């Protein structure tokens, strides 16, 4: 991919004065106007607001002011991240017309680095889904095959980056919602360590699992975005005080001497054969560069799906209680009582998947069942975390498929459990709070992207990006666009 198409390349060109931020933006707006009607990645493009931001960057440069690391880079945002004055819908009818009263902390940091915020991307309603089919407004198509899903729930952000509508976007990852769509769309998707990136201004789904992360075309751009948005936020009680590392500096290190673990549980029966072959070939590429590869075991992985689908819906049941038509949510017709009004609002405003997860979570937390379900799931979560701790005492990085197979067709996984299983390899990182990245491993015979997932111990994003960059140098998939 040519430098002028990447976030890092655009920022360098704008800072050097070889191109203006407004010129960069106008070229991307033309591309969005041409292609987004086919893909439907954006819920709303804020053209005039973006032009104002780009002009401000150009004025600052003309005055000789120092520009930020993302100078003039067009960035899209998943529509569960607040931008002051912009509508935040979370892909749900219940939030239609709601305008955010403040910028999310990640938005403040993007602005401080002179990024140009272009618009809001489509998602599964309240980030609950793995295909972006659950949006209340429309479905987003995969740029590689418009009859297939882009993944979810950050499908709009992943498809926008893959189609080169924007060089970078932000998504949120509760159980794989950045990495799985990155794998399906042939992008780089990074879920940071829990607490590395502030969640302030991210509409909550499951507060102990949610993390904001970047989707980009290259590993270098992922490192750049993480450096821009990471770091302590005193307004977020879950934010880590650890200083942010220089992730860009880690990219050139190579993998010689690194120990890479292959968890047996992630190469299970029933996995797509082409996906397994491409992932193993990618791991072999790292081995040829000097990494050593060993088999490891994460035995409690078998509890991951059942634990996740108790814990995440339980937290969602609590978080979504605020949408009552009074504090938040577009009110439906008034009922005779407050309870009736709330029920009418939620019945009309929430879609089927959101209702399903609220009911699951409410049941799991109900009297007489709390310890049997929620308590047991928390214990299983601890065992999963312990498995990772044990593995990382032996290896530096774990390598797995991002998903069991490539992007599936629309309506192919209409049965909920079939859809939930598409996240089987990604949810463990959220349960353990560790970082993980999906990087393109190659294409199937049908021309569909397959992702390699790399996982590391908490706050070792430098190792993930180092290994991902080494693979990208040898297998420069980013040069191949849909």
Marked catalytic residue, from 177, 198, 227, 239: 177
Q: 196, 201, 169, 7: which is closest to 78 by C-alpha?
A: 169
Phi, psi of 300 (to 5 degrees): -90, 10
Cross-strand pairs, 450:
442
Phi, psi of 5 (to 5 degrees): -95, -10
Q: 453, 8, 397: which is closest to 218 by C-alpha?
A: 8
3 state SS of 160: helix
Give the DSSP letter string of 334-355: --SSHHHHHHHHHHHHS-HHHH
Distance CA 226, CA 244 (A): 9
Q: Contact at 8 Å (CB) between 250 and 465?
A: yes
Marked catalytic residue, from 153, 172, 227, 317: 153
C-alpha distance from residue 318 to each of 164, 207, 264, 378, 476 (Å): 37, 10, 36, 16, 44
C-alpha distance from residue 450 to each of 113, 140, 265, 323, 406 (Å): 32, 19, 19, 38, 6
Q: 11, 161, 133: which is closest to 71 by C-alpha?
A: 11
**Is there a catalytic annotation at residue 78?**
yes
3 state SS of 292: strand
Q: Contact at 8 Å (CB) between 12 and 167?
A: no
Q: Contact at 8 Å (CB) between 164 and 173?
A: no
Distance CA 447, CA 266 (A): 23
Distance CA 94, CA 74 (A): 29
**Is there a catalytic annotation at residue 153?**
yes
Marked catalytic residue, from 40, 78, 120, 191: 78
Give the DSSP letter string of 239-266: ---PPPP-HHHHGGG-STT-EEEEEGGG
**Is there a catalytic annotation at residue 177?**
yes
Phi, psi of 263 (to 5 degrees): -75, 125
Distance CA 421, CA 402 (A): 12
| Residues that are catalytic | 78, 153, 177
């Amino acid at each position: 991919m040519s430098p002028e198409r990447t976030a890092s390349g655009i920022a360098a060109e704008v800072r050097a004065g070889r191109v203006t931020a407004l010129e960069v933006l106008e070229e991307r707006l033309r591309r969005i106007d041409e292609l987004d009607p086919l893909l439907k990645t954006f819920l709303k493009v804020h053209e005039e607001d973006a032009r104002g931001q780009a002009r401000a960057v150009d004025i600052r440069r003309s005055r000789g002011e120092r520009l930020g690391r993302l100078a003039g880079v067009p960035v899209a945002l998943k529509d569960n991240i607040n931008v002051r004055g912009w509508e935040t819908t979370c892909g749900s009818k219940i939030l239609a017309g709601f305008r955010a009263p403040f910028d999310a902390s990640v938005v403040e940091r993007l602005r401080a680095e002179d990024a140009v915020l272009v618009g809001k991307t489509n998602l599964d309603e309240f980030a609950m889904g793995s295909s972006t089919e659950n949006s209340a407004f429309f479905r987003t198509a995969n740029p590689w095959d418009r009859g297939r899903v882009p993944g979810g729930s950050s499908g709009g952000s992943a498809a926008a980056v893959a189609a080169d509508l924007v060089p970078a976007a932000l998504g949120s990852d509760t159980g794989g919602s950045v990495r799985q769509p990155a794998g399906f769309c042939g992008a780089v998707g990074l879920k940071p360590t829990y607490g590395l990136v502030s969640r302030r201004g991210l509409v909550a789904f499951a507060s102990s699992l949610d993390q904001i992360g970047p989707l980009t075309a290259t590993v270098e751009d992922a490192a750049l975005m993480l450096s821009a948005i990471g770091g302590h936020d005193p307004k977020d009680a879950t934010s880590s005080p650890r200083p942010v590392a220089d992730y860009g500096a880690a990219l050139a290190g190579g993998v010689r001497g690194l120990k890479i673990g292959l968890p047996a549980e992630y190469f299970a029966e029933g996995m797509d054969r082409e996906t397994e072959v491409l992932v193993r070939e990618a791991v072999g590429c790292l081995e040829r560069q000097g990494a050593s590869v060993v088999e490891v075991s994460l035995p409690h992985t078998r509890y991951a799906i059942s634990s996740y689908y108790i814990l995440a819906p339980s937290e969602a049941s609590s978080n979504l209680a605020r949408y009552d038509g009074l504090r938040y949510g577009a009110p439906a017709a008034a009922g005779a009582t407050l309870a009736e009004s709330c029920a009418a609002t939620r019945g009309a405003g929430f879609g089927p998947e959101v209702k399903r997860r609220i009911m699951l979570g409410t049941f799991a937390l109900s009297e007489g069942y709390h310890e049997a379900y929620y308590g047991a799931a928390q214990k299983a979560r601890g065992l999963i975390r312990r498995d990772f701790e044990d593995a990382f005492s032996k290896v530096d990085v774990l390598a797995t498929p991002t998903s069991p197979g490539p992007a599936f067709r629309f309506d192919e996984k209409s049965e909920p459990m079939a859809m939930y299983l598409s996240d089987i390899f990604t949810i463990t990182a959220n349960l353990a709070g560790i970082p993980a990245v999906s990087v393109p491993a190659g294409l199937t015979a049908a021309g569909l992207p397959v992702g390699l997932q790399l996982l590391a111990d908490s706050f070792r994003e430098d190792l993930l990006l180092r290994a991902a960059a080494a693979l990208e140098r040898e297998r420069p998939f980013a040069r191949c666009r849909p």
